Chains A and B, each alone.
Chain A
Amino acid sequence: MIGFILAQCLSALSQAAILFFIACGLTLIFGIMRIVNFAHGVIFMLGAYIGYTAAAVSGSFLVSLIVAPIVVGAVGMAFERIFLRPLYGRRDGGAYLLLTFGLAVVLSELIRIIWGAQPLSSGIPDVLRGIVVILDQPFPLYRLFLIVLGLAAAIAVWQFLERTRAGLLIRAVSQNSEMVHALGTDVDLVRTGVFGLGCAMAALGGVLAAPLVTAFLGMGTTVVIDAFVIVIIGGMGSFLGSLIGSILVGFVQVLGAYYFQDLALAFMYFLMLTVLVIRPGGLLGREE
């Protein structure tokens, strides 16, 4: 019995790990730019597809783990630089919404054109295949790997934000960009960098998710809503919030899938509706 509960918990945590990669990026971007990157789900999807190709070409999962985030991060930075930056200061906040939406559509189509409509999967890499037995319960090694990696990433980002100069800059800009600008920092550069970092993280999530769910068109839409729910729960712009929120949603999703199989699809949406109905402005952290 305990073994079963433990297995469910680990399952939830592995789910949370992937969600964390996406939600953390989304919240960082919001914190610094006050925009919700609607294309984040498609960025995640792009990561999955590029990861697939990288793995197929190089024969190594590790390579895809490195290549995909870098490539997608660069794409993100280019997008921010070319399309988002000129819009700063526009009275109508809707422009960002539409732009990131347009990006989502364009990227979606590009992916379909380049990789085709069929789902792709290179499967779980051999070295991570296998079952680990915990308290008489079998548990996939890959999912443990996800938990470890997720934890490592969380610590890394946390240390980065707290201990490094770049992290300090990021936190400062998200609090008062004008002041930071007045002190001589190129705020635009910080924004571009954070956008790229956020995209890179989402892409990493995509690479990690692909062996489990396969890379398929439409994986972005579901996930962007999940990430949005997490960011709302945890507070828009709060790194810690994205971590807590991811764990929370991870558990909700796993338990929901187990006990309400039939409504698995609808469950996530009910959760989001509930959160937004109870607290339309978000729970913790900064408001929009």
Chain B
Amino acid sequence: MSGKVAFALTAPVGVLLPFVVPQYSLTVLIEALIFGLFAMSLDLMVGYCRLYSFGHSAAYGLGAYSAALILTHLQLPLLIGIGLAVPATIAVAIPIAWICTRSTGVSFAMLTLAFAQLGYAMLFRFRDITGGSDGIVGIPRPPGPFGMTWFQGKIGYYYLVLGCLFGSYLLCRAIVRSPFGAVLSGIRENERKTVSLGYNTRAYKIATVVLAYGFGGLAGALYAGFAGFASPELFFWLVSGRVLIMVVVGGAGTLIGPIIGGVFFVFVEHELSQVTDLWPLVFGSIFIAFVMFAPEGIWGIVTARFKQKPIVPSSAGGEETSDAAA
């Protein structure tokens, strides 16, 4: 239940923040929240289903470019534009998910990477539509529907992002606790067994990937609307790498951990990058350290402390105490 506690604590903080921090920091904060959402979307795959993706930047890029194209060419209201980017991303995600889930493990990861690289290549191939290496610039934030304009300013956009993040978190939380989510944990723990119980695990995996792309696409769309441009770097493999690092370090399989990881990293990166050129190196090293010594991630460590250590009565008599299994 620490999720509810954290939520209750952060909600008022989140609402009040824009009035407390300077404008400049607000920009970073918005980017941080967007990345937190992006990281959480990957957690559905990595943390709950053990589907390691090296290509989640594709979700981000798809969302960003969908929103960019819709807003620039169709002049639809911002909210509608961002809203439509999600089903657009999902539509592309379905065949991708179908193909990738034919494999497992490394092959799966390689396939996701291949699709991200493919997306990157496609951007240059169809440069008339996508603007090639320049990308799409000057993305507007058209008002409406109903003449709403509160999101056009920075503080307003902050609330938009915050709302999307909270809403997505609640939705993901519900998903994870549902019967569907229980099957995901079964797949994570022992896929063979889950299949033998009668579950079509392939379908569940496809659904998970599509959901992850959906939320990732939302993050990308929010970014496009915020930054005002979409460029090919969004598809680059290092973006996939960054978000994977955030998920693992934040705490895979906790939803909150990756959000924190994402937010934290954007801030640290922002500060560090002004001081030194070495920050990606630092991140990479931290990542390796966590993989080796603390695979449950920051939030995993934090929540473990609050969990009871179960006392195990063994059938032979006598008792053992032990930590909750990782």
Give A contacts to B, CB under 8 Å. Answer: 36, 38, 83, 86-87, 92-95, 97-99, 101-106, 108-110, 113, 221-222, 225, 228, 232, 262-263, 265-266, 269-270, 272-273, 276-277, 280-282, 288
Shortest CB–CB separation between residue A36 and chain B, in angstroms?
4
Q: Which of B290-319 contact A (CB under 8 A)?
A: 291-292, 295
Question: Is A221 a contact partner of B117 (Cβ separation < 8 A)?
Answer: yes
B156 at the interface (CB under 8 A from A): no
Question: Is B107 a contact partner of A276 (Cβ separation < 8 A)?
Answer: yes
Q: Which of B52, B117, B288 contacts A269 (CB 8 A)?
A: B117
Question: Is A94 a contact partner of B125 (Cβ separation < 8 A)?
Answer: no
Q: A225-B114, A262-B125, A269-B117 are in contact. Are A97 and B52 (CB under 8 A)?
A: yes
Can you give 16 contacting A-B residue pairs, CB < 8 Å? A83-B288, A98-B291, A99-B292, A102-B288, A105-B283, A105-B287, A108-B280, A225-B114, A228-B106, A265-B124, A265-B125, A266-B125, A272-B110, A280-B104, A281-B103, A288-B107
Question: Is A277 a contact partner of B102 (Cβ separation < 8 A)?
Answer: yes
Q: Which of A101, A263, A266, A288 contacts B241 (CB 8 A)?
A: A101
Question: Is B278 a contact partner of A108 (Cβ separation < 8 A)?
Answer: no
Residues of A within 8 A of B114 (CB): 225, 269, 272-273
Residues of B within 8 A of A282 (CB): 107
| Interface SS of chain B | helix
Smallest CB gap from A228: residue in B = B110
Question: Is B105 a contact partner of A98 (Cβ separation < 8 A)?
Answer: no
B70 at the interface (CB under 8 A from A): no
Q: A105-B245, A105-B284, A276-B103 are in contact. Are A221 and B291 (CB under 8 A)?
A: no
Smallest CB gap from B100: residue in A = A276
Question: Is A36 a contact partner of B285 (Cβ separation < 8 A)?
Answer: no
Question: Is B288 a contact partner of A109 (Cβ separation < 8 A)?
Answer: no
Count, chain B residues at interface, CB 8 A: 40
Question: Is A109 a contact partner of B284 (Cβ separation < 8 A)?
Answer: yes
Question: Is A101 a contact partner of B103 (Cβ separation < 8 A)?
Answer: no
For the complex, give the distance between the alpha carbons of A282 and B248 in Å.
Answer: 28
Residues of A within 8 A of B84 (CB): none
For the complex, give the distance between the alpha carbons of A232 and B105 in Å.
Answer: 13
Residues of A within 8 A of B248 (CB): 98
Query: Nearest 8 CB-CB pairs, A to B?
Result: A106-B284, A265-B121, A102-B288, A105-B284, A280-B103, A109-B280, A36-B106, A280-B102
Question: Is B281 a contact partner of A106 (Cβ separation < 8 A)?
Answer: yes
For the complex, give the distance between the alpha carbons of A281 and B121 in Å.
Answer: 26
Smallest CB gap from A271: residue in B = B114
Q: A99-B291, A225-B113 are in contact. Are A113 and B124 (CB under 8 A)?
A: no
Give B contacts to A, CB under 8 Å. Answer: 50, 52, 54, 99, 102-107, 109-111, 113-115, 117-118, 121-122, 124-125, 237-238, 241, 244-245, 248, 277-278, 280-281, 283-285, 287-288, 291-292, 295
Q: A99-B292, A225-B114 are in contact. Are A113 and B287 (CB under 8 A)?
A: no
Shortest CB–CB separation between residue A262 and chain B, in angstroms?
7
Question: Is A225 a contact partner of B110 (Cβ separation < 8 A)?
Answer: yes
Residues of B within 8 A of A106 (CB): 281, 284-285, 288
Q: A102-B284, A106-B284, A113-B281 are in contact. Are A93 and B105 (CB under 8 A)?
A: yes
For the complex, give the distance between the alpha carbons of A264 and B321 in Å.
Answer: 59
Question: Is B52 a contact partner of A94 (Cβ separation < 8 A)?
Answer: yes
Shortest CB–CB separation between residue A27 and chain B, in angstroms?
13
Residues of B within 8 A of A280 (CB): 102-104, 107
Q: Which of B115, B244, B295 contacts A101 (CB 8 A)?
A: B244
Q: Which of B237, B291, B295 contacts A102 (CB 8 A)?
A: B291
Question: Is B111 a contact partner of A273 (Cβ separation < 8 A)?
Answer: yes
Question: Is A97 a contact partner of B106 (Cβ separation < 8 A)?
Answer: yes
Question: Is B50 a contact partner of A94 (Cβ separation < 8 A)?
Answer: yes
Question: Is B285 a contact partner of A263 (Cβ separation < 8 A)?
Answer: no
Question: Is A103 a contact partner of B288 (Cβ separation < 8 A)?
Answer: yes
Residues of A within 8 A of B244 (CB): 98, 101
Residues of B within 8 A of A277 (CB): 99, 102
For the complex, give the distance between the alpha carbons of A94 and B291 in Å.
Answer: 9
Additional A-B contact list (13), CB under 8 Å, known A99-B288, A102-B245, A105-B283: A94-B52, A98-B52, A104-B241, A105-B280, A108-B238, A113-B281, A221-B113, A269-B114, A269-B117, A273-B111, A276-B110, A280-B107, A288-B106
For the complex, give the distance between the alpha carbons of A109 and B244 in Å.
Answer: 16
Smallest CB gap from B111: residue in A = A276
Residues of B within 8 A of A94 (CB): 50, 52
Smallest CB gap from B286: residue in A = A102
Shortest CB–CB separation between residue B27 and chain A, in angstroms?
25
